[in-house]
Chain A
Amino acid sequence: MASDQVTLLDLWASPFGMRVRLALAEKGVKYEYSEQDLVNKSALLLQMNPVHKKIPVLVHNGKPVCESLIIVQYIDEAWKDKAPLLPSDPYQRAQSRFWADFVDKKIYDLGRKIWTEKGEDQEAAKKGFIDSLKLLEGELGDKPYFGGETIGYVDIALVPFYTWFYAYETTGNFNIEAECPKMIAYCKRCLQKETVSKSLEDPKKVYDFVVMLRKKFGLE
């Protein structure tokens, strides 16, 4: 493993990229971080992800893996001797996959609608978003993390979106902590872990990024 060449093609603000950074940190894998320009896509990005032309892409010894949750599963399997990210029991694994998929289906799309839509559409997105967080709170229950005593696959799927909550709240004019205090407490608990705090970006910087995007899309 010492001769492994690992590169991550990423965009600093991407919650999907943060998932991969967090998984690599949990496994203690050394890698080269390569910031990508998604307006003028590099030849490397187009070569490594010809189908979707998106980040994140993990390049391991020259071979690309695309799609954040697929990358996280790959990382778990390729570096299997340390810090398992998925449970070993097939039923628990299925539950982890179900909830990570739920995060993919709900949190990103609804969050995006909050900062891109207005009026009724924005209100509907806010409600859907809060309802989804409440379902996740229910699934978390009394556990410190979705993975139990340690961070796991669902935590990795979800917690990067915390860096976008401030942007959602400010553009959507609502308070997530008031509606979902347990979720916020959970996110802050995760941030106490060094692997998480060093993999996640500053929410204020993310908000500035969203403001820039809104201006660009003519939404401000």
Chain B
Amino acid sequence: MAEVKLYGFWPSPFSHRIIWALKLKGVEYEYIEEDLSNKSESLLKYNPVYKKTPVLVHGDKPIAESLVILEYIEETWPENPLLPKDPYERAMARFWIQYGVDTVAALRAFYHGSGEELEKAAKELLEGLKILEEQGLGDKKFFGGESMNLVDISYGALGYWLAAVEEAKGVKVLEPSTLPRLHAWAKNLDELPVVKENIPASDKMMAYLTAAMNRLAKN
């Protein structure tokens, strides 16, 4: 079995997605921390198009873009399947994963916003999450049913990451009063051992996010 390397960035939910998927599949890998302010030769070689993390390197073959990496992991290590078998159910899972790209954009706006922009971003994020809760999650415990799958993995940032940003901003979006089922889902997700044991400590996360937001505010 060729070796697996993951080039990641410790505070990034995109890197965490890949760690959880590899752990769920029981894949041994070497984690390499990237300093995104001083990108390594390897990163630039393995992801010349975007120069970003995460990048998975299997043998000497690189794969970039976290959602592409997740599908690759699913296909290469088929044990403990993380996508449905039926083509229609797979298409629905992929639809909700793709919907998450809009959610990421809304999360970014929330993260970057202040004052009026923050209010607007919070409102848009809430509206987008209502659709996700109503039509994506419904009454299921996880998007994958009784256990997490690639859809849950793709929305991981809505748990620990959003909670840290909400605290730093002093604005809450994902609450039991506004999004009861999605809030419960996030709590359940954060309690799963694979997630709980593979996210940064909350104080470290808070310190990083606060410093990053202060840097943004200065610019």
Contacts and interface: CB of A to CB of B under 8 A. Distances in A.
Do these two chains interact?
Answer: yes
Contacts of B68: 94, 97-98, 101
Interface of A: 50-51, 60, 63, 65-67, 70-71, 73-74, 77-78, 90-91, 93-95, 97-98, 101-102, 135
26 contacts: A50-B135, A51-B95, A51-B131, A51-B135, A67-B94, A67-B95, A70-B91, A70-B94, A70-B98, A73-B91, A74-B90, A74-B91, A77-B87, A78-B88, A90-B75, A91-B58, A93-B72, A93-B75, A94-B69, A94-B72, A97-B68, A97-B71, A98-B63, A98-B64, A101-B68, A135-B49
Contacts of A51: 95, 99, 131, 135
Interface in B60-115: 61, 63-65, 67-69, 71-72, 75-76, 87-88, 90-91, 94-95, 98-99
A65 B65 contact: no
A74 B61 contact: no
Interface residues of B, number: 23
A98 B47 CA distance: 11
Contacts of B98: 67, 70
Contacts of A74: 87-88, 90-91
Contacts of B99: 51
Contact of A91 (B63, B64, B94, B135): B63
Contacts of B69: 94
Closest 6 CB pairs of A and B: A77-B87, A90-B75, A94-B72, A74-B91, A97-B68, A65-B91
A67 to B, nearest CB: 5
Contacts of A101: 65, 67-68
A60 B92 CA distance: 13
B61 A91 contact: yes
A170 B60 CA distance: 44
B30 to A, nearest CB: 19
Nearest to A100: B68
A51 B130 CA distance: 11
B25 to A, nearest CB: 13
Contacts of B64: 98
Given A70-B98, A97-B68, A98-B68, A65 B63 contact: no
